[in-house]
Chain A
Amino acid sequence: MKTPLKNSSTLLALLLLMAFVLPLFAGEYLIHIGVLVLFYAYMAVAWNILGGYAGQHSLGHALFMGIGAYTSTYLFTRLGLTPWIGMWLGGALAGLTGWFVGYLCFRYGLKGPYFALVTIAMAEAAVYLVNNITAVGGAQGLEVAWTGSAPLLMQFDGKSGYYYVILVMSILAVWLSSWLIKRRFGYQLVSVRENEDAAEALGVDTLRVKIQASIISAIMTALGGTFFAQYFTYINPRNVFGEGPSIQILLFAIIGGLGTVWGPVVGALVLVPVAELSRGWLGGSFAGAHILLYGTVLVLVMLFMPNGIVGLYEKLRGKMKSYRSSNQGSEAS
């Protein structure tokens, strides 16, 4: 199993420090990129629990993002409930949905592409369903009216407030992810991914484990949905339930390294700034160029380094190790 990439804790501490002080030095635009990096890293880590660890690739994860976003935003704009509470209600609803989707799919033994197709269909169905619910704005969506700095309502003056929120969320997510993988649950998840029959034969309740992964992933994703709503202040069925968000959620996990703790973070860290900078640079005349970049990288990664950036690093490190050890005469591992 892939253990944390940065086993040097000083390196980690340094990065964390840098992350925390970034807003003190950087301008609004750079902080915005920081928010994006952290947001996509967070979502990728959440997706990774079901898609990477458990190996069940959901291509419709935006379903949960949308549930989170719409629940907290609806409660906020219509009932004045602070998103800090609303997000947990959204999470609970998403968790329930995650259970439902997981139970339905896994109980009927859906795997791989068929599971992916069902998740796509569910997310798409959600788009069209919500399109027709006027109570939540239908196709027009909902707007989070920004009324000034109100931290208790998850609204901040300037970007740094949001930055710190998503930073903490990301840290917690990565921590949870690395904690899970070392426990029995983590081992069982990975064993299901690696060989489901063998796992069953060894006493792993594969159905329950997969459903649990689905629930956890769903809740985490929904919380991210609330953040999305608060930061971007506008949600509609397409931008929170659509295939765009679904793909963006998993993109960085795949490019960074599926099933690893840090892969999703690395993927976002490497790709998002490049894409966003090029988007700003090329301007409106090349709208879509950054997604073009994502697509190209995805294709290239699948062709040449399907284990992602972290996977490639591990492989190279393995080669380095054997090179070093062959000098001492021991066999390559």
Chain B
Amino acid sequence: MVFSFELFGQALVTGILIGGIFALISVGLSLIWGVMRIINFAHGEFLMIAMYIAYFLVVKGGWDPYLTIFVTAPALFLIGVLIFQSTIRPILKDPSMNQIMLTVGLSLILQNLALVFFKADVLTANTAYTRLNFFLGPVVVRGSQLIAFVGSGLAAFLLYWFLQKTETGRAIRAASINRDAATLVGINVRNTYLLAFGIGSASLGVAASLMIPFYYTSPTVGLFFGLIAYVVVVLGGLGNFPGALVAGLIIGLTESIGASLLPGSLARVLTFGIFIIVLLLRPQGIFGGKQK
């Protein structure tokens, strides 16, 4: 546990960059959870699927990783819509624990489909950006992470703009606040949910494409990110977009600085500790969000 400014600075930079990705992964969940009050335990697995798609396009198809967004985003939108229509829509009015169990089942299916088809191998893509590095004094800034950070910010901003400024977006927000009132003013709530689910899933497609230059994929890669998404959403406040962004950064920093200060993987214990404390003492998140 040697403390040095270089190490701290590195952790700080990495933490911020990673935090941006955490934020992007989480806004999709925040949207889905906030709009439909469904806790999708397969959220991480959607990311995993997208990462496999991105990986194969890059490695087998020679694509530029960032161009894969044009495939992963629509693909995830479609997959999200399909899964929503077939499994989630029927149980929208069921008790929340049934919904949770169903999505747990989905995550088992998706994880093990990946296992069956792609084996347990950890796959890393070697792209033009993978070894791109900048130097801020002693601190190494990985180009791929920086691009991911910027990309995440852009995507999150686009999503935010969509929700705030477009009519469809406002319909989604209306349906999330009060579905009955929304129905009364002519909003097709079912379609709104569908759209929200699709968009939330699509955002994972974007995140995956941004991550593939510096992160591996494997059948279980979704477990960690899924859980992190929950931590971020709860911390930032359910349905609270800016909150998710800030919370993403906080968690990214916690992970990163924690890893540099604490031995082994104890940083993760810290992250979960924060999660538990927030759930106990301030479940609406630091910045306040929708109540369950």
Contact = CB atoms under 8 A, between A and B. Distances in A.
Establish whether A and B are touching in the complex (CB under 8 Å): yes
A298 B269 contact: no
Given A117-B230, A303-B90, A254 B101 contact: yes
Nearest to A237: B265
Nearest to A291: B112
Contact of B108 (A118, A294, A302, A303): A294
B292 A120 contact: no
A128 B266 contact: yes
A286 B115 CA distance: 8
A287 B219 CA distance: 12
Interface in A81-120: 104-105, 108, 110, 112-114, 116-118, 120
B272 A122 contact: yes
B290 interface: no
Interface string B276-292: 10011101000000001
B39 interface: yes
Given A302-B105, A303-B91, A112 B97 contact: yes
B116 interface: yes
A26 interface: no
Interface residues of B, number: 46
Contacts of B62: none
B273 A292 contact: no
A129 B273 CA distance: 11
A108 B230 contact: no
B263 to A, nearest CB: 6
A125 B268 contact: yes
Contact of B268 (A114, A128, A138): A128
A105 B119 CA distance: 38
Contacts of B223: 243
A131 interface: yes
Nearest to B33: A113
Contacts of B112: 288-289, 291-292, 295
Select the residue from A124, A247, A288, A302 with max chain B CB neighbours within 10 A. Answer: A302
Nearest to B38: A113
A195 to B, nearest CB: 13
A210 interface: no
A303 B89 CA distance: 10
Interface in A270-306: 286-289, 291-292, 294-299, 302-303, 306
B223 to A, nearest CB: 7
A52 B174 CA distance: 35
B280 A110 contact: yes
Contacts of B116: 286-289, 292
B91 A132 contact: no
B272 A121 contact: yes
A57 interface: yes
Contacts of A112: 96-97, 292
B227 interface: yes
Contacts of A138: 264
Interface of B: 39, 87, 90-91, 94, 96-102, 104-109, 111-113, 115-116, 119-120, 219, 223, 227, 230-231, 234, 263-266, 268-269, 272-273, 275-276, 279-281, 283, 292
27 contacts: A57-B97, A105-B280, A110-B280, A112-B292, A113-B100, A116-B97, A117-B39, A117-B230, A117-B234, A118-B279, A121-B275, A122-B272, A122-B276, A128-B264, A128-B266, A138-B264, A287-B115, A287-B116, A287-B120, A292-B108, A294-B105, A294-B108, A295-B104, A295-B106, A302-B91, A302-B105, A306-B98
Interface of A: 57, 59, 104-105, 108, 110, 112-114, 116-118, 120-122, 124-125, 128-129, 131-132, 138, 243, 247, 254, 286-289, 291-292, 294-299, 302-303, 306
Given A124-B268, A132-B265, A295-B106, 6 more contacts: A110-B283, A121-B231, A121-B275, A128-B266, A287-B119, A292-B116
